[in-house]
Structure 1
Amino acid sequence: MEIKVVIACAASKRGLPILASLIICYLASVKFRQWRHRRNLESRLYKKHKQLEKDRVRFLESLPPTASNDALCEMSTTELRRELQAGRVTSLEVLQAFQRRAAKLLPRNCIAEVFLDAQKVASGCTAINPALPLCGIPVSLKEQIQIIGYDCPLGLVKKVLYPATVDAVVVKMLKIGQAIPFISSSMSPAGLSLNSSNEIYGKQRHLLDDARLSGGSSGGEAMLIAAGASPLGFATDLGGSSRIPSSFCGICCLKPTSRRVSLYGVFTRYKRAVLHIDSTVSLLSRKVDSLVDGMRCLCQPLQNELDPYTVPIPFDEAKFADNTRLVIGYYVELSESGIPAPVPAVQRALAEVRYLLEKAGHTLVPFQPPNPRYGEELFTACVYADGGYQYCGALHDEPINEHLQTITSFLKIPAFLRRFLSLLIRSTSHNFAQYAINTCGRQRGADMLRLNCDVASYVKKVAQAMVTAQPRPIDLILCPATAFPAPSDSVSSILLESCQSYCGLWNLTDFPAGVVPVSHVTESDEAEALKMAQELRTTSGSYVSRKLHEMQKATMGLPLAVQLVGRPMHEETVLRVMKEIEVMAAFSYTV
């Protein structure tokens, strides 16, 4: 009816002015709503900053004036438990040591919230129960893991000032195990960027170099752990969100199989956007022993009572302590995939670890995941199953960094134009053309079902490749975690995205994966990378590969890590070999 009125007005002599007035009023109302929304965001951000300022002042005032035992910050949770059980320190003293270290990191913007009741909880923890692996030990959480009374905004301004009303199951298990959550870490907006800076907590950069990124989306948690400000952290991993920053910062990380650890109470924006792939709660620490204690605490029968969707498998001590020699497949690059090969420093680190494992008696055999290019395409299609609609909605009107602006601008291009763009560039850049196609989303239910079947078929092929390998089935896979060490903050989005391929494949297949630091970039690594960049420039080699090698200028001293991938629900085997590598590599922290 309204449309008929407008047409009738337009047909009359006075219709055009009236129609113009209606259009102007409509546009003015849109602009007014946008202005009001921005004002609301600014108001919320101002109130949040005031709240943070007040809480942090109280936090700093609560610290004792005398110096704490800084040596405690270098210990694993196992060593801390030994000190607590012997009565050489109290839980409060341990907590205050880590709080003092964390206080030094406040200007680095990796801290989200400080939990003001932590000292009260620690003071009440006087009897250390030896059956509880984290009893009396402080732990940290990524900001999207809910804890009563505190925000979990995912780095989004629109989500601040909505404190959680329930604890996540992970937090419940930690509290039942008498661990002490004392701090939370910041993350990239909506978890979509390898740059973990956000408008709420500020710009975040690598501990060793302010011009470099710490990774994302769990960059804040990785920085806390690397600086010794927390003995054990809990974050999330959807496509390398924890393993990539762990690799960049030089710490250990475990991404369990989904449903081994509960996701109840972990706030996410992906439930209606991502198909097949589940985010998982990941564990981060300087020491593998701390990851083991974390899994011991979480993998209890009670977890299945709190979340019936978790698999009721307790931590298998016998499997972790087993000394049977294993068959370990390895690959340095994903051959014929178009995914850039790792830079010389990463390849050297892998070669050294391979030598150490062979020396320890394990059998190392070459292995390639079946059709890795296809696996990467499936991963992208699953992550952008809705065409990026949820991501763009989450970031709408949010103040975001340049990397996210590039991603959202691309996702806002209509799907039919993205398909047309892929046709234009396919001959010059097959990978980007395929990326454009796979981000278009699945428009029909039949397409969704087909994608789900394709993923299931691919996962089966990867599993079959492991169990039918010769001379014996493969127990673990040794591979890169990323193609390069911590990158500069000025690196383009295309280059940053290239480092997700080595992690995303194992989220797609839902295999447990761990990262362990083993070395640092040397002067010869840097020189070799720059030499290869020059060769690629003169031979018209791959643009992405050339840029990755050019990025290695001034990387000397940055940490290097490798990735270990196991069979589903075999986290204990992954941790066991990670521990062996940790001991043999003897990685030293420089933070």
Structure 2
Amino acid sequence: NCVQYFIPECEEQLQEIQQQREKGLLYGIPVSIKDHIGHKGHLSTCGLVKFLGTPEQEDSVLVKVLKRQGAIPFAKTNVPQSLFNYDCSNLIFGQTLNPLNHQKTPGGSSGGEGALIAGGGSLLGIGSDVGGSIRLPSSFCGLCGLKPTAQRLSLSGINGPVDGIVSVPYALGPMARDVDSLALCMKALLCEEMFQLDPTVPPIPFNEEVYSSSAPLRIGYYDTDGYFPLPPCMRRAVHETKEALQAAGHQVKVAVVSTRRSVKEMWDHQHQIEVYRSEFITQWRELQLDVMLCPVLGPAFTIGFPGKLLSAISSTMLYNVLNFPAGVVPVSTVTEADEEELKIYRGCCDDLWDRTLKQAVEGAVGLPVAVQCVALPWQEEMCLRFMKEVETLSRAKRAA
């Protein structure tokens, strides 16, 4: 149930682009899109019955730009009901399974994208992220995914069950099996066509020089946000990645980060968010960082558990609140040693939350383990460049 339905017009579009002289950067590439990304003549249900029977009257700006760049939107993918969950199930299309382990969820809310790409059914997908909805499926399914700064890509023509959430803005972003595919997608989308169709998008084209740079990076890292302790394998992933980056010549220093201000406070008080964001950036600059390495929630949860552990998304939600670009890169897999260590996991307080997390991630040997890579606002190219470095080093380690 990762695909809600296929877009039959894609075959006609393919015939049309073959007649064009100019071939876009995504020429002929089939692209899957998340349910609520508007495509003319098709539904954007958000997993809700009330949106059935009301097809979109025109393409969203993002779909228009994808088509202009030669991409072929060919399928719409499944989401959880209302989008506000990081599982992937609704009463219309049912439960989406993780293709790597059918007892596990693919994550959400871009869970259909995660499952379809991980299962080999799509090369490139477009998801959205308001609390980790690109990064969590990428972590659970072993993919690369990027949440840009909100408004770096146009949100015009994107639907949702709730309007007016401004304290924590959502963003559209790409998901794929490798970082180069994410970079190519961003380069294609950040074009004059998008800037003309949606003047609210800052006219900042993709900076290839930053992405292609090989200069050593100044990297901060932390292995816990001090709010919700993650499973042992996720902390291991951060430390192993840190050591690989140091060995490659990058400067890595510990950064102390806390989300001890409650997420509820941040949602209730926009001013507090602005103050917190300013404090965070001040600390970042005092440490003279280029990027940040940190954990992401994972490995994949057993189906049904995301709804019991909303507070566990603090690792991703932080960068929605701050509105920083953040991406996920798989770096390892869960080992038998990780599973043994999980048996003595006590979390922060050995309370109901900690015990529930332990149950959620049990039985994950062989499933992907990822890390999160973060940059300052509007520096998607730097974030991708860091992700590429992490990907290269982790692949080299696995091949050794």
TM-score range, shorter chain: over 0.9
- 1:468 Cα deviation after fit: 1.1
Which residue of 1 is the match for residue 194 of structure 2? 303
Structure 1 counterpart SS, 2:82: helix
- 1:127 Cα deviation after fit: 6.4
- Contact 2:151–2:200 (8 Å) recurs in 1: yes
- 1:544 Cα deviation after fit: 2.2
- Contact 1:242–1:253 (8 Å) recurs in 2: yes
* Paired positions, count: 398
Letter in 2 for 1:144: H
Which residue of 2 is the match for residue 342 of structure 1? 230
Out of 258, 261, 265, the position equivalent to 1:374 is: 261
Which residue of 2 is the match for residue 166 of structure 1? 58
Partners of 1:175 and 1:323 lie apart in 2 by 32
Partners of 1:163 and 1:587 lie apart in 2 by 47
Q: CA 1:358/1:254 → structure 2, altered by over 3 Å: closer, same or farther?
A: same
Which residue of 2 is the match for residue 567 of structure 1? 376
- 1:357 Cα deviation after fit: 1.0
- 1:328 Cα deviation after fit: 0.7
Which residue of 2 is the match for residue 468 of structure 1? 286
Which residue of 2 is the match for residue 215 of structure 1? 107
Partners of 2:89 and 2:345 lie apart in 1 by 32
Identity of aligned residues (%): 35
- 1:485 Cα deviation after fit: 0.9
Letter in 2 for 1:479: C
- Contact 1:532–1:549 (8 Å) recurs in 2: yes
Partners of 2:166 and 2:265 lie apart in 1 by 10
Q: CA 1:561/1:128 → structure 2, altered by over 3 Å: closer, same or farther?
A: farther
**1:185 and 2:80 correspond:** no
- Contact 2:234–2:296 (8 Å) recurs in 1: no
Which residue of 1 is the match for residue 24 of structure 2? 132
Partners of 1:540 and 1:287 lie apart in 2 by 37
Q: CA 1:120/1:240 → structure 2, altered by over 3 Å: closer, same or farther?
A: same
Which residue of 2 is the match for residue 530 of structure 1? 343
Letter in 1 for 2:215: T
Partners of 1:151 and 1:505 lie apart in 2 by 31
Once superposed, what is the RMSD of the aligned Cα atoms?
Answer: 2.1
**1:291 and 2:179 correspond:** no
Structure 2 counterpart SS, 1:364: strand
Which residue of 2 is the match for residue 487 of structure 1? 301
Q: What stretches of structure 1 move > 4 A for 4+ residues in a row?
A: 127-131
- 1:492 Cα deviation after fit: 6.8
Partners of 1:318 and 1:128 lie apart in 2 by 29
Out of 445, 455, 458, the position equivalent to 2:273 is: 455
Structure showing the higher strand proportion among its residues: 2
Partners of 1:316 and 1:180 lie apart in 2 by 25
**1:364 and 2:364 correspond:** no
The 5 Å alignment of 1:58-457 reads 109-126=1-18, 132-272=24-164, 274-335=165-226, 339-369=227-257, 371-374=258-261, 376-379=263-266, 381-382=267-268, 451-457=269-275
Which residue of 1 is the match for residue 356 of structure 2? 547
Higher relative contact order (CA 8 A, sep 6+): 2
Structure 1 or 2, whichever has the larger Rg, is 1
Letter in 1 for 2:277: V
TM-score (norm: length of structure 1):
0.65
Structure showing the higher helix proportion among its residues: 1
Structure 1 counterpart SS, 2:260: helix
- 1:270 Cα deviation after fit: 2.8
- Contact 2:150–2:170 (8 Å) recurs in 1: yes
Q: CA 1:551/1:195 → structure 2, altered by over 3 Å: closer, same or farther?
A: closer
Partners of 1:505 and 1:311 lie apart in 2 by 23
Structure 2 counterpart SS, 1:206: coil
Which residue of 2 is the match for residue 37 of structure 1? none
Q: CA 1:569/1:131 → structure 2, altered by over 3 Å: closer, same or farther?
A: farther
Gaps of 5+ in 2: none
- Contact 1:128–1:136 (8 Å) recurs in 2: no
Partners of 1:488 and 1:503 lie apart in 2 by 19
